[in-house]
Amino acid sequence: MTPAPFPVDVRAVRKTFRRKNGETVEALAGVSFAARARTLTALVGPDGGGKTTLLRILAGLTPADSGGVRVLGLDVAAAPQAVQARIGYMPQRFGLYEDLTVQQNLDLYADLHGVDGAAREQACARLLAMMALTPFTGRLAGKLSGGMKQKLGLACTLVRAPALLLLDEPTVGVDPLSRRELWEIVRRLVRDDALTAVVSTSYLDEAGFCDHTVALHRGVVLAEGAPGEIAAQAAGRVFLATPAAETNARALQARLFQSRDVADAVPEAGKVRVVARTPNAPENAPDTTFAAAQPRFEDGFMLLFDAVADGRAVQSVPAGRAGNAPGNAAPNPVEVRDLVRRFGDFTAVDHVSFQVRRGEIYGLLGPNGAGKSTTFRMLCGLLPASAGSLRVAGADLRRARAGAREKLGYVAQKFSLYGDLSVDENLDFFASAYGLRGHRKRARIAWAKEQFNLDAMASLPAGQLPGGYKQRLAMAAALLHEPEILFLDEATSGADPMARRAFWARIAALAEAGVTVIVTTHFMEEAEYCDRVLIMDGGVALAEGSPAEIRARALPGQDAPTMEAAFISIIETARKTGRAQA
């Protein structure tokens, strides 16, 4: 059998799902694409674009309604078992057996794929070394960090050297360091092992690593081509805007993002990267200097996407904390001094101190296991501190937790609303839980539904909301009682680029209205939206300051380094000098 020139060949594939409430959703509406042998193809696009469905069809797990799917020269619909015997597929949640050790997981997949003898020993040793998991073979998979789990999942997928590798959003929830390592591994496999890989991602910067990209949106292919070709779409329309002296990048970004001339605007290294809808710089930004910039994949993609998107929902002033005079509140709503949290003899947070000012957006950054979430839980009064002082909204959290809780809103990393209650019922419940009654309760619920565009979904069970709406509802519920401080834990993890931009526009507007916002995030470019950030690793605070200060301090001499480069440099330097144990 000669190897097929196109290991993946998809023609006019359609797939429709039926939701529980009877409505049908067209996940794929006639998708065609091909992946050339020994290349890395990225499926890029927002949530609900059909990426996962397409990969499941390729893996023979979901049958297509119509159209032709050939994988490695085989018809998937006719011979799914034969296809599965030759591919490696890593689903979004790989689903390791968490009660089995690293080695037992790997052995299971080796057995399932029929790899034994010397080949097996060699493959295991090589993969464990490649994933840097060799020291952890005896550890239970459930006790690994997020990044390590993904690497183990990849190792299980690769144990039989598949002819085709299918990866579904392999880097969701993975910190920047592990993300970089994962991509290096995949690229090396394609280069050195003659592998063909199809990877789905909603992180646009990752598409730049690939040979070929397929942009999926609402079940159709929006564009296809090499990353350079997609980038070229935005040629001559990308500008770097430098904010005037008295304003900052975030304010400028918020203003530009609402401009009719602008397809996309994101803060970048103290400036704002703008993709214009026409080849001219936007006009409604006086005192701002625009410099032409080299287009990147993201720019081209956002321009393509902008052409088909139906308007963007950005709130003007969502907070409405009118009755709260600024003088009433403490100048520093959050004050943390020498905060320590121990679990047994393990110190998760080790003497961390910081202050957050009123109306500030404050970011807690760090790799998986840095102690961000532990710090966060202590700030929200969900976990008692072992030592140190902790004042939130003027109340000492170690003494008066209930008093402080009334003044803070919390959006958890995991969707934590009631999936079987409707949007209205969830809002009603949370309003009551926060003690709202009568007229004020009705007014706040009406406000939340209007601000977050939830009216159209009001009667839908929360569990059936599309991803972006779930997050909106979670935020709406957290803001019902007009908290002074809003805590957001990895709120944008797994969200697509459009949802993330809308999310940050909302956060910025809240901060303008005087709400103090504390966020954790894995996306370093998102740190640019923060006024100040704290970088942690191994429970220790490594650096604090504005994004510009952090960049300048971490990589002096470099011209406008990215936040991600600065972050990786800070963590790696600290790990080398032993300030933080990995």
Partner 1 sequence: MTPLPSLRRVLALTRKESWQILRDPVSVAIGVAMPLLMLILFGYGLSFDIRHLPVAVVVEHASPESGGILAALRLSPYFRVHPATSMQEAERLMTAHEVNAIVRLPPHFSRDVALGDAALLVTVNATDANNARIALNYTRGAIAIWQQKELARRSASADSEATVVIENRMWFNEANDSTWFLVPGLIVLVMTLIGALLTSTVIAREWERGTFEALFATPVRPGEILASKTLPYFVMGMAGLALSVAGSRFLFGVPLRGSPWLLTLISSLYLLVTLGLGLTISSLTKSQFLANQIAFLSTFLPAFMLSGFMFDIRSMPLWLQGVTHVFPARYFVSSLQTLFLAGDVWPVLLPNMAVLAGMAALLMAMAGKTVRKRIE
The binding site for partner 1 (CB under 8 A) comprises: 17, 56, 59-63, 74, 79-82, 84-85, 87-91, 93-100, 104, 107-109, 111-114, 153, 156-157, 166
Least distance from C-beta 160 to partner 1, angstroms?
9
Least distance from C-beta 35 to partner 1, angstroms?
17
Closer CB to partner 1, 163 or 454, in the complex: 163
Instruction: Determine the 3-state secondary structure of 404 from DSSP.
Output: helix
Least distance from C-beta 420 to partner 1, angstroms?
12
Distance (Å, whole) CA 529 – CA 532: 9
Least distance from C-beta 8 to partner 1, angstroms?
15
Distance (Å, whole) CA 187 – CA 210: 8
Closer CB to partner 1, 153 or 497, in the complex: 153
Closer CB to partner 1, 79 or 400, in the complex: 79
Distance (Å, whole) CA 382 – CA 340: 15
Closer CB to partner 1, 62 or 569, in the complex: 62
What's 89's DSSP letter?
A: E
Closer CB to partner 1, 127 or 265, in the complex: 127
- β-sheet bridge partners, residue 471: none
Q: How far is CA 66 from the centre of its chain?
A: 32
Least distance from C-beta 140 to partner 1, angstroms?
8
Least distance from C-beta 116 to partner 1, angstroms?
8
Kindly give the interhelix angle for 176-192 and 146-158, rounded to the nearest 10 degrees. 10
Counted residue by residue, the chain has a size of: 582
Distance (Å, whole) CA 492 – CA 7: 34
Distance (Å, whole) CA 321 – CA 515: 8
Distance (Å, whole) CA 524 – CA 180: 12
Of 582, 522, 577, 570, give the one whose Cα is nearest residue 136.
Answer: 582
The H or E element that residue 547 is part of is helix 547-554
Closer CB to partner 1, 153 or 539, in the complex: 153
How, if at all, do strands 387-392 and 395-396 pair? Answer: antiparallel
Least distance from C-beta 120 to partner 1, angstroms?
12
Closer CB to partner 1, 60 or 494, in the complex: 60
Closer CB to partner 1, 80 or 270, in the complex: 80
Least distance from C-beta 364 to partner 1, angstroms?
28
Least distance from C-beta 195 to partner 1, angstroms?
16
Least distance from C-beta 128 to partner 1, angstroms?
18
Closer CB to partner 1, 493 or 520, in the complex: 493
Contacts 24+ apart (CB under 8 A), 390-396: 390/335, 390/336, 390/337, 390/339, 391/330, 391/332, 391/334, 391/335, 391/336, 392/333, 392/334, 392/335, 392/485, 393/329, 393/330, 393/333, 393/334, 393/484, 393/485, 394/329, 394/330, 394/333
Distance (Å, whole) CA 159 – CA 107: 9
Closer CB to partner 1, 63 or 236, in the complex: 63
Strands of 424-466 (E only): list them. none
Torsion angle in degrees (nearest 10) through CA of 546, 392, 517, 378: 90
Residue 55: Cβ within 10 Å count: 23
